[in-house]
Structure 1
Amino acid sequence: MCGICGAFSASGPPPASPQVVARMQAQLVHRGPDDDGMFLDDRVGLGFRRLAIVDLDGGNQPISNEDGNLWLICNGEIFNAPSLRRQLIHKGHQFATGSDVEVILHLYEDHGEALLEQLNGQFAFALYDSHKKRLFCARDPFGVAPFFYTQVGKALVFASEIKAILTYPGVVREVDLTGLDQILSLPGLVSPRTMFKGIHSLPPGHKLVADGRGTRSSAYWDLDYPTSAAPAQRDETFATAVCEALANSVERRLMADVPVGSYLSGGLDSAFITALMADHSVDPLNSFSVSFDQPMFDEDKYQRLVADRTGSHHRRTLHPADHISAALRQSIWHAECPVKESYNTASLSLSAATRDAGVPVVLSGEGADELFAGYLGYRYDAFRAQRRQAAPCPAEAALRARAFGAADVFYEKNLLSHEAQRRNLYAAPLAGDLQQFCFSNTPLVDENKIQGRHVIHQRSYLDFKLRLGDHLLGDHGDRMLMANSVEGRFPFLDRDLVQLVTQIPPDQLLHGFEEKHVLKQAAIPHVPAEIIAREKFAFAAPGSAFLLLQDCPWITDLLSPATVRAQGYFDVAAVEALKQAALNEPALPSGGAPDDALLTVLSFGIFLDCFDMPLLGPGGA
């Protein structure tokens, strides 16, 4: 993974000078500390910061094709590049580097935008076609790699992180209230929304084209579950196929000219990946974990169990609760959004330790819960379906239909009652205008991929769209990894594996109300029985109550009535009530509750300060 940035305009003056591109690059040094590159002409300015993973000596970007009419910058990896490269060479294409992403240029020469159908990887790229005066951009199917963009006059401005876009002349900083409402209502932001009004996130599985006809984006891939059950097969058949596909995915993601390690959480997903890495004789096999000084959060026992079984060189990073407040501001700066949990600070500590150990690439287990029905919500859905619960009231049904594509879909919470809670939390002027920026005003997902599907598949689709792409892979994953120049790779998010699992009947994914049934069966020969039998343990870290009890002056100030009133986004009395409630339940972890609204208020205050955002209260903008 690297950092890309730039600007394009099909007409008018050049969209970027070397100085402008350099300023944007400077905001992405943490994403690419090893090298940089730049290309400019009268229509485009492209900037690149490199984290050297493949072809260490010759893989810097931008890269051009043989004729010099195509220029590419790409953040990410193309895991099936070796086979694509052989095919392209056979057709007569000439490669200038050993970089895996160069295949994109030559595929474009042969197939145009349809090249995306052939890529298996994690990527966000911008490809400039000087003959057609066109910029062609795309983001991988699951959203591992970020891509943000905005329009400034005639210029399309883009970057791997929003902080680079903010340096471009003419970009206005304004809070996107719908983005804030998404964070309060959902696991996190949902593309194309960001916390910055007018700055968009290209959704996973989407492409974007800018030329003389304007700028337009569209989907090129989406998760698509069948509308009827797959033919019955034996459990062993599914388990064998899943194990083989996952092993192939892990092998593809070992492609690197630098050391590759794994993150061990103590759960099934990361344990299985680490075990498969050991099967592929990764030497040395490095594994990393984070632990806490409070037993209720710590998983060290299970992490050690897997490390001993696989023979990995395991490093444990202690993240004491009193370190959270010190790292919170840094985590918000990199996430570029408020959060409702403090675990991102632990992720920062973990990536720092990984980088210090000289391992710039790690494999991790994200995506397994969404793919194999791993969250508790899948059980609840199955219980509700079995008991044939009464239909929601008309108002609730309307909200669900608008947000989730179907009136009978329940996701996380009752939307009607939660709307009342948010209205109480917002400052009076915003509360009165809530219907103008409410997160459910616009559809969040493609309703055609929800309707007619099994309830387990419905939740899986929603989890991929509302939880995984922009939150777990975004502010929680990519941004916390790349803050310390570490690339994350996710074997469960492989197009071949995902296509296989979508065809597994839902009653095998959640078999007898046992989550991840098929994955557990597949893991039996590879993973300790204690890990397979273990109940799901959600990522958790000390929440807002712990932060209040530390009595940090800056936290006290950010949550004070005077500061909350000056910010003008939240109601002072409501915030005071949240503070009192948190102090009455000081042991409650943020990861153990669906929402830590007070931590969202606190982190939003940090966000306003970090990015010099306008205030709405007395004396504000």
Structure 2
Amino acid sequence: MVQVAGAPGQVVAPDRLDRMTDAMTHRGPDDRGTHHAPGIALGVRRLSIVDIAGGHQPCFGEDGAVAAIHNGELYNHAALREQLRAAGHRFTGRCDTEVLPHLYERDGPDFPTRLRGMWGLAVWDAARRRAVISRDRLGVKPLYYAHVGDVLVFASELRALLASGLIPAALDFEAIAVYLTLGYFPAPATPLRAARKLPPGCSLVVADGRVRVERYWSYPRPAPDPSLTIDDAAEGLLEHLDEAVRMRLMSDVPLGSMLSGGLDSTLVTALMAKHTSGPVHTFAVGFEGHPNELAAARRAAHHLGAEHHELRLPGVMGFAGFRESIGGADEPVADLSALGFQSLSAMAARTVKVALSGQGADELLGGYTKHRAARLAAAWRHIPGPAGVLPALISRHGPRPARRAAATLAAPTPAERLLAMSGRLDDPLRAALFRGPLAAIAPGAALRVITALTTTPAALGIDLRAPAPARPGGQLPAALDGDLDSDPVAATLFLDGQLALVDDMLQYFDRASMAHSLEVRVPFLDHEVVEFCATIPSRFKVTAGLRTKYVLKRAARGLVPERIIHRRKVGFLRPASGGWLRGELGARGGAGELLFAGAPRFAEFLDPGVVRALAAAHRDGAGGGRDVHLLIAVLVLEVWLESYLPSALGSGG
């Protein structure tokens, strides 16, 4: 917590800071540190990975005027330490956090640009009364904040922010409207009006009586290099990924790999094996009765000489486990994949403290069905005559199941195309479902969020309560940059990397793994890998023949068996979502008791009758599964309102 202005004083009572810090014991069960001084209070929990004995936090500069706390890993800390030592800085240990106060002393608030890794961190400069609070470039680690009165409260999890006792429970209905459309809360939005998420690549600077958000890195816009051949691209990608994997093997504790048996995780594991002397520990989980990749993971582990661990669960988690996962998720994320990742993290944590994952490859290199759809949309633009306008007609007047595909082909802007592919609500259903404070919100909140990313390269997020910019017909302005308009595949990947990747997948990856005190590292999301991928032409990612991740498949040759390279992708639990929900809606004590309840928490802003009708249609098999993702979003939100929020708010009392 930082005092923003006024004469410096105590910003929080010591017992309240302890309560906030200990709300995140799972993130760091090995050590605990606090620091109180006029105008500042810092608390940290540590998961000891490097310099286990000597890495106590906060860390200080030589004269004690600069303090730093940090959640995550800085993979280039050894090189930075040598630079700083040569400039006269003195160190007492090997912990990566120790470089932060010295780096700040040398470079000032720009110091995050020198870091390579994943982090949520804070540096306090007592002499200048300045705080710099920073989140890593890709958003692998979370960071929440709230400016309440004259105090800025910040934490790695929303539950710690709420434990301050300063955050009111008022909901942010504009953000909830976006969540119900997308299935997650895009930064800076959270479910609460008072709380924000710091966007990736940004720092909060508290100085001179003000709080400002400064961007130090922007997600790279598509910049295809016309001189690259497919072989050049594959070779360059493998070189960057190999370096990223090697850097992420930095550890004083056992580490392993989350191995699904697919291309991405198998390639990461193969590169790990290249740089380690003993067998790599690999971990896989699957659910009986649902598509899983256990056999493929077993074959991949055998090929790589790994020491393999697998967990076969009797079925998708029951409703009690689902409730527990919502509490661990910290904010609502409507993605059942989190259930499997909880079990995978729990198993891995029994053997290792650190695990590498293949997460991010699909969003960088085009691994999803929607990326094939974007390639088709690019081709459709060149169809002349009446056939070219057919999708627009179907998207407005056709049967509901056909409207999504048609709207994808007909979308005039990248933002509208992504919403057509990924949105859970169409206009008629939104009008029927929303009531009260949601009904009062102008349509288009999700579209405004996505459009802001296409029109403003350095956007710090969008104020959802601001009026939507309009053009004739009530539509949003087209993207200002032709690079996104001209290449639907590149545009979709650019948006995926800043939206669902961060606030859906990385969000549940972080919470599920850290709930078990397991650190997960993601080499594909090394910022230098991401920047190189922006230079690869999209035709090398998704080909005209609709082959996905083509350049990665070329890069993996010789390291990964051909049958793994060309295996069909198996979605982790998403294909099972409809069956899981149908069973829970009919089970005693299951989801039905919440969605069919007479007075659910969501009744303030959603029509319970519409929700019950959608749930009954899905339970009885009459809905064709088309509303399953919306129903899961409503269910997750209801459990969060019923269980998580009262508990987290109570911890601040």
Same fold flag (TM > 0.5): yes
**Which one of the candidate residues 334, 337, 351 is aligned to 2:345?**
351
Indicate how the Cα distance of structure 1 residues 585 and 343 shifts in structure 2: closer, same or farther if over 3 A, else same.
farther
Q: Which residue pairs with 2:469 in the alignment?
A: none
User: Is 1:10–1:133's contact at 8 Å kept on the other side of the alignment?
Assistant: no
Indicate how the Cα distance of structure 1 residues 20 and 417 shifts in structure 2: closer, same or farther if over 3 A, else same.
closer
Q: Which residue pairs with 1:257 in the alignment?
A: 252
Question: How big is the shift at 1:613?
Answer: 5.5
Which stretch of structure 1 is more off in the superposition, 506-515 or 364-373? 506-515
Question: How big is the shift at 1:392?
Answer: 6.0
Q: Distance in 1 between matches of 2:503 and 2:42?
A: 24
4+ residue segments displaced more than 3 Å: 6-10, 389-393, 404-409, 414-417, 436-444, 584-589, 611-614
Aligned length: 594
Secondary structure class of the residue paired with 2:34: strand
User: For residues 29-108 of structure 1, what are the structure 2 equivalents within 5 Å?
Assistant: 29-108=25-104
User: For residues 269-348 of structure 1, what are the structure 2 equivalents within 5 Å?
Assistant: 269-294=264-289, 296-321=290-315, 323-348=317-342
Question: How big is the shift at 1:568?
Answer: 2.4
1:546 aligns with 2:580: yes
1:411 aligns with 2:428: no
Secondary structure class of the residue paired with 1:125: strand
Q: Which residue pairs with 2:611 in the alignment?
A: 575
Secondary structure class of the residue paired with 1:126: strand
Q: Which residue pairs with 1:239 in the alignment?
A: 234
Question: How big is the shift at 1:31?
Answer: 0.5
Q: Which residue pairs with 2:643 in the alignment?
A: 610
Q: Which residue pairs with 2:145 in the alignment?
A: 149
Q: Distance in 1 between matches of 2:142 and 2:174?
A: 20
Indicate how the Cα distance of structure 1 residues 431 and 311 shifts in structure 2: closer, same or farther if over 3 A, else same.
same
Amino acid at match of 2:482: G
**Which one of the candidate residues 462, 474, 487 is aligned to 2:495?**
462
Indicate how the Cα distance of structure 1 residues 196 and 260 shifts in structure 2: closer, same or farther if over 3 A, else same.
same
Deviations 1:224-251 (A, max 9, x none): 2345x42233322211111111111100
Q: Distance in 2 between matches of 1:405 and 1:215?
A: 38
Q: Which residue pairs with 2:400 in the alignment?
A: none
User: Is 1:545–1:585's contact at 8 Å kept on the other side of the alignment?
Assistant: no
Deviations 1:133-154 (A, max 9, x none): 1110110010001000001210
Q: Distance in 2 between matches of 1:419 and 1:178?
A: 16
Q: Which residue pairs with 1:179 in the alignment?
A: 175
Amino acid at match of 1:604: L
Q: Which residue pairs with 1:422 in the alignment?
A: 430
**Which one of the candidate residues 507, 513, 516 is aligned to 1:484?**
516
Q: Which residue pairs with 1:131 in the alignment?
A: 127
Q: Which residue pairs with 2:542 in the alignment?
A: 510
Q: Distance in 2 between matches of 1:267 and 1:64?
A: 44
**Which one of the candidate residues 186, 190, 193 is aligned to 1:190?**
186
Q: Which residue pairs with 2:552 in the alignment?
A: 519
Question: How big is the shift at 1:305?
Answer: 1.4
Q: Distance in 2 between matches of 1:94 and 1:595?
A: 58
Amino acid at match of 2:635: L
Q: Which residue pairs with 1:379 in the alignment?
A: 372
Q: Distance in 1 between matches of 2:412 and 2:14?
A: 46
Question: TM-score, normalized by length of structure 1?
Answer: 0.90
Amino acid at match of 1:540: L
Secondary structure class of the residue paired with 1:122: strand
Question: TM-score, normalized by length of structure 2?
Answer: 0.86
Q: Which residue pairs with 2:403 in the alignment?
A: none
1:118 aligns with 2:114: yes
Indicate how the Cα distance of structure 1 residues 492 and 437 shifts in structure 2: closer, same or farther if over 3 A, else same.
same
Q: Which residue pairs with 1:445 in the alignment?
A: 453
User: Is 2:66–2:125's contact at 8 Å kept on the other side of the alignment?
Assistant: yes
Q: Distance in 1 between matches of 2:325 and 2:498?
A: 23
Secondary structure class of the residue paired with 1:209: strand
User: Is 1:325–1:547's contact at 8 Å kept on the other side of the alignment?
Assistant: no
Q: Which residue pairs with 2:468 in the alignment?
A: none
Question: How big is the shift at 1:9?
Answer: 3.6
- Quick one: percent identity of the two aligned structures? 32
Give RMSD over aligned pairs.
2.6
Q: Distance in 2 between matches of 1:437 and 1:30?
A: 38
User: Is 1:35–1:49's contact at 8 Å kept on the other side of the alignment?
Assistant: yes
**Which one of the candidate residues 504, 520, 523 is aligned to 1:471?**
504
User: For residues 358-373 of structure 1, what are the structure 2 equivalents within 5 Å?
Assistant: 359-373=352-366
Amino acid at match of 2:225: A
Amino acid at match of 1:333: G
Secondary structure class of the residue paired with 1:539: coil
